[in-house]
């Protein structure tokens, strides 16, 4: 997001401390931030009330953008997260397009529909007698960039034309 937001120096990461993978995501974000000369500040949220507290905390810390550690709770709260991002005028990036469809700014990640289709083929193979341990681990092969133009306009963010051209989907 550094190319999208001028003078970006602080990024927030909202994590669910109850999620076993959240801490590793924050650690990786902090490492990437150091490499990019960005300060990464984390905030916890594990219920709807704590979501707004996390936005308030990150706003006070002066973050210029926010990302979310992947978590089912956040996915279920994606409309509320989009509302809070607009309220606090914080650009947010996510890993699934569903957040952007709900009003988030942008996502870069695997298409969930493709993921579920691949998972279904594995279930089919297992039902037909394949041993799960014998099936190869699959990694995503395609990542999609999705941008919500209405959200960008609402928070007063002008997106570079080069970024818009690279988007797989623009939501207007």
Question: What would the pLDDT profile of 118-152 be if each residue is shown by its tens digit?
Answer: 889 889 999 999 999 999 988 888 899 999 999 99
Residue 119 lies in a domain: no
Instruction: Work out how many domains the chain is built from and give that number.
Output: 1
pTM, full prediction: 0.85
Residue 101 lies in a domain: yes
Report the greatest alpha carbon distance in the chain.
56
Give me the CATH number covering residue 62.
3.40.50.2300
pLDDT band at 1 (very low <50, low <70, confident <90, very high): very low
Place of tokens 């709807």: 48
pLDDT tens column, 100-114: 999 999 999 988 788
Domain that holds residue 36: 10-111+142-171
Residue 129 lies in a domain: no
Residue 136 lies in a domain: no
Residue 5 lies in a domain: no
Provide the H-helix boundaries in the chain: 22-35, 48-60, 72-76, 78-87, 97-101, 112-127, 149-154, 161-166
Residue 148 lies in a domain: yes
Place of tokens 């990019």: 36
Residue 124 lies in a domain: no
């Amino acid at each position: 997001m550094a190319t999208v937001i001028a003078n970006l120096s602080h990024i927030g990461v909202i994590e669910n401390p109850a999620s076993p993978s959240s801490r590793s995501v924050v650690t990786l974000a902090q490492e990437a931030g150091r490499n990019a000369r960005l300060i990464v500040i984390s905030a916890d949220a594990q219920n709807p009330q704590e979501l707004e507290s996390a936005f308030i905390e990150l706003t006070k810390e002066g973050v210029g953008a926010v990302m979310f550690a992947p978590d089912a709770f956040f996915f279920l709260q994606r409309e509320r997260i989009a509302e809070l991002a607009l309220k606090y005028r914080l650009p947010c990036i996510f890993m699934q397009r569903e957040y952007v469809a709900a009003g988030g700014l942008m996502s870069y990640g695997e298409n969930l529909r493709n993921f579920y289709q691949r998972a279904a083929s594995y279930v089919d193979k297992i039902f037909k007698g394949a041993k799960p341990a014998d099936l190869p681990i699959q990694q995503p092969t395609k990542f999609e960039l999705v941008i919500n133009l209405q959200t960008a306009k609402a928070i007063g963010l002008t997106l570079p034309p080069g970024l818009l051209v690279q988007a797989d989907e623009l939501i207007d």
